[in-house]
Structure 1
Amino acid sequence: MTPLINELAHDAYRLPFQDRFHDLDMTLVAVDGTLIKALPKMLWALWMDEDRRAAKMHLEFDILKGIPLEARVTDANTSEIAQLESLLSPGKLYCLDAGYRKYHFLNTILQQSSSFIVRLHNNASYELIQERALSETDRKAGIEFDRVVWLGSTSTHNKLSRPVRIIQLRYHDERTPSGLPRTTRPSSKKTCRTPSVRKTLLIVTDRMDLPAELIMLMYRYRWQIELFFRWFKCVLGCKHLLAHSENGVTLQVYCALIASLLIRLWTGRKPTKRTFEMICLYFQGWATLEELIEHIEQLKSKEQKQP
């Protein structure tokens, strides 16, 4: 089914993101994994113990098109880095969370003629080579510094074959209204925690040519893959397995991805819950083809009106 997914993905066009991404010379992709709970009798779905089993879907997602590109199903204990390493291809800008920050793996991405944007822990070690000047746009975006460094401690410098760039962003936790104090709450250890509103985000990339605030904007759009996981589980209902074998779960996952791509190609936008419900009503005989087409046309007209 992978060739079919690749063919459908090729036919999709970019979503109306900011114009600044149009000249990007690589495919901006997010990669992550999500767990699908399995039954205890599914012995292949190794996870925590015999009673808690799960499968894992490893997904490669085109951020600018809003579509899945590649997926694999394994047991929950399979390494996400190992799976991505087997799927690496040239010409991609991989946008990854902190779980993929292994330095030798980042070097493997470079060897495949691709690039990366990865989140680091705030206590990451590095040796400063150059302090890059920040533009006014960078400062307004909350960027505190932009540096060229050798990443890692002295003993791990050789894990990356070239210097990289780290960027630190200051941001505020949007879950707390600005100007209002946080209320403390007791933790499980009967202590009180008062998290700071002000937080920092540390990003590493090998792309030296892109503005710092654009790098941060790309990482912000990594969240699109998390939204797709919610659509996959909560709307398509793929957290409810129709088969118990690994091949059966894989078939269900691929069918769901193909359905998502077909809806995306038909509507010209990311699938929504209402569109999925309308398609289901049509197949059940509760809606006519004319009503379904009218719904699709309304979506397209709303898309065209957006700035």
Structure 2
Amino acid sequence: MENIAHLMSELPKDYEEECIKQGAIVRRRGVSNPADLMMLAMFHLQNGCSLVEMSEVARITKLGNMSDVAFMKRFEKCGNWFKSINQKLASSCLIDYQKSEWLERKTVIAVDASDVAEKGRSGRIYRLHFALDIFKMISIEYKITTAKVGESICNFTLQPGYLVIADRAYANIKGIEHCNKNNAEYIFRLRKNSFTVRNEEGKKIDLGAIFAKLTSGECADLSVLATNLDGDKIPVRICAKRKTPEAIEQTKKKLRRKESKNQCVISEEAKTFNEYIVVATNLNDTISADEILETYRLRWQVEIYFKRLKSILNYGELPKRRHDSVIAWLNGKLMIALLIEIIISKAAFPPQEYA
């Protein structure tokens, strides 16, 4: 309980009032106050105890007196409480890493999503969509949905001053339009079929042929029009650079594993395209292609964040079946992760470069 008390010391000052406001405690039966309920909920989230075990923990610690079913119902009502706490934690400044001069006035955000499987026969999948400020190491926004909601920039609220960095799953016309509509800037990693690229005359551009002419260390920097099946045409800047021989070999191994696992054949064109780091952006030409490609490398931090969630907090599997319990569990796990980030941030350290 000492570790939990340490985490609770970093909760927002009004978390107890918020408990009543969000309806986590309506009648003080079984547990008398928000602090005791939070202690029990965190114990459950950290240790994964069964409901029967939690009933006994409450009795032994004198934090409450309730049956396993009563604890389950009480825990289910904590979902909105945890969510409101997360919103306050996510908006607090944890760390402020030094930026490159051209990024000084920008909020640089990496977005990603991670699936969480429910245990048991149902096997339902929930998806955590997450936006991380990679210089302050805080959550800008998150959303928990079913797996039917795909990975998309449109899942996030954007505003002027944001520079959004995302991988290939997010590189599409709708995502680009969402950024442009909200006056946000972006750097998206491209796959070969993200969208068709044309010149001003409407002629299709063969990116592979252009990239093949790049010398070692040279960057491609193209102003093109991105088009889709609906005929939409959006000005886009494409920057690319050939990977190192070691990185190319790693990429080839990954693609071979993918072919074996999915029983598919990846085209030679796609394999060649994957020998380059290719990004699309709406940043102006005062920012060099080298700077843009280096900035994209910062996206790895959100992946590390997810790995920490899944490995340290066992976020990757759900021990719940009822929908309200699932939402409370996911929001509760994220709350603990944010509290841990706050504690870590007080021993400031610089992020290490991703290999």
Partner of 2:289: 212
Q: Please state if 1:165 is matched with 2:234.
A: no
Partner of 2:210: none
- Check conservation: 1:30, 1:96, Cα contact below 8 A: yes
Q: Please state if 1:150 is matched with 2:220.
A: no
Q: Please state if 1:10 is matched with 2:88.
A: no
Q: Please state if 1:27 is matched with 2:107.
A: yes
The C-alpha deviation readout for 1:79-128, integer Å capped at 9, x for no partner, is 222xx425322132211112222213311221112121112224653234
TM-superposed CA distance for 1:72, in Å, is 2.0
- Check conservation: 1:31, 1:60, Cα contact below 8 A: yes
- Check conservation: 2:248, 2:275, Cα contact below 8 A: no
More deviation in 28-37 or 64-73?
64-73
More RCO (CA 8 Å, sep 6+):
2
SS at match of 2:100: helix
- C-alpha distance in structure 2 between counterparts of 1:146 and 1:93, whole Å: 19
- Check conservation: 1:88, 1:109, Cα contact below 8 A: no
Matches within 5 A, 1:99-110: 99-110=169-180
Partner of 2:13: none
- Check conservation: 2:118, 2:125, Cα contact below 8 A: yes
Partner of 2:336: 259
Q: Choose from 87, 90, 106 the match for 2:159.
A: 90
- Check conservation: 2:91, 2:138, Cα contact below 8 A: no
Partner of 2:5: none
Superposition RMSD in Å: 3.7
Matches within 5 A, 1:4-153: 4-17=85-98, 19-20=99-100, 23-42=103-122, 52-81=123-152, 84-91=153-160, 92-122=162-192, 124-128=195-199, 142-152=217-227
TM-score (norm 2): 0.58
Partner of 2:309: 232
Ranges in structure 2 where 5+ consecutive residues have no aligned partner: 1-81, 201-213
Q: Percent identity?
A: 22
The C-alpha deviation readout for 1:256-280, integer Å capped at 9, x for no partner, is 22222222222316xxxxxxxxxxx
- Check conservation: 1:147, 1:165, Cα contact below 8 A: yes
- Check conservation: 1:233, 1:239, Cα contact below 8 A: yes
- Check conservation: 1:169, 1:200, Cα contact below 8 A: yes
SS at match of 1:217: helix
Ranges in structure 1 where 5+ consecutive residues have no aligned partner: 43-51, 130-138, 270-298
- Cα distance change, pair 13–22 in 1 and its aligned pair in 2 (3 A): farther
TM-superposed CA distance for 1:147, in Å, is 1.5
- Check conservation: 1:151, 1:164, Cα contact below 8 A: yes
SS at match of 1:216: helix
- C-alpha distance in structure 1 between counterparts of 2:239 and 2:187, whole Å: 10
The C-alpha deviation readout for 1:142-189, integer Å capped at 9, x for no partner, is 34211112122696344x3xx2211011112646789xxx9xx89757
SS at match of 2:127: strand
Q: Choose from 271, 276, 280 the match for 1:200.
A: 276
- C-alpha distance in structure 1 between counterparts of 2:150 and 2:237, whole Å: 26
TM-superposed CA distance for 1:2, in Å, is 4.3
- Check conservation: 2:91, 2:139, Cα contact below 8 A: no
The C-alpha deviation readout for 1:217-252, integer Å capped at 9, x for no partner, is 221111111111111111111223242233322222
Query: One-letter code of the match for 1:144?
Result: C
- Check conservation: 1:55, 1:75, Cα contact below 8 A: yes
Query: One-letter code of the match for 1:149?
Result: V
- Cα distance change, pair 125–88 in 1 and its aligned pair in 2 (3 A): same
Structure number with the higher strand fraction is 1
The C-alpha deviation readout for 1:44-94, integer Å capped at 9, x for no partner, is xxxxxxxx532211112222222333222222222222xx42532213221
Query: One-letter code of the match for 2:164?
Result: Y
- Cα distance change, pair 203–8 in 1 and its aligned pair in 2 (3 A): same
TM-score (norm 1): 0.66
- Cα distance change, pair 70–2 in 1 and its aligned pair in 2 (3 A): farther
Query: One-letter code of the match for 1:156?
Result: G
- Check conservation: 2:90, 2:140, Cα contact below 8 A: yes
